[in-house]
Amino acid sequence: MKLHYEAVTDALRQDVLSLRTAKGQEGYIEPVSQCLEEACDDCRWRPVAIYDKDDIVGFAMYGYFLPEYPPDGRLRLDRLLIDARCQRKGYEKATISLYEQFGFAFSGERDTKGEYVMVKEVEK
């Protein structure tokens, strides 16, 4: 497995729009089309495609939000989706471990949809 992340450009748009959640997971994440619309409406969001070598396997977004999280803001990694055809192949664990590799840990906090939040404490 050789994961890499690519910024979603017009050239990659159709690839990411083809991604789907597995049956029964629809309520856990917004459709990619909605995520891309939100990224267009709010330039703080940066959508990325997740690839294993040349094959697209997923989607995520990240963004830096200052006004909502004073005084220092918060970098949010969000909307992690592994395509239905790629699930149960280790991609979920590999992408979640990415958060941990960067120093993020579960905080016990939940977001507005009830999902667990991971945070990274930074020295000031």
What's the predicted TM-score (pTM) here?
Answer: 0.81
Which residues belong to the active site?
Answer: 99
**Higher model confidence: residue 76 or residue 37?**
37
CB 77 within 8 A of CB 99: yes
State which of 6-10, 66-70, 76-80 shows the largest mean pLDDT. 6-10
Confidence at 122, pLDDT banded by 50, 70, 90: low
52: three-class secondary structure by DSSP:
strand
Confidence at 124, pLDDT banded by 50, 70, 90: low
Going from N- to C-terminal start, the domains of the chain cover 3-88
Q: Residue 13's closest CA among 38, 44, 47, 42?
A: 47
- Tell me the average pLDDT across 82-99: 88
CATH entry 3.40.630.30 includes domain 3-88: yes
The CA distance from 79 to 22, in Å, is 15
The CA distance from 6 to 13, in Å, is 11
The CA distance from 38 to 90, in Å, is 28
CB 102 within 8 A of CB 77: no
Each residue's pLDDT tens digit, 40-70 = 999 999 999 999 999 999 999 988 888 887 8
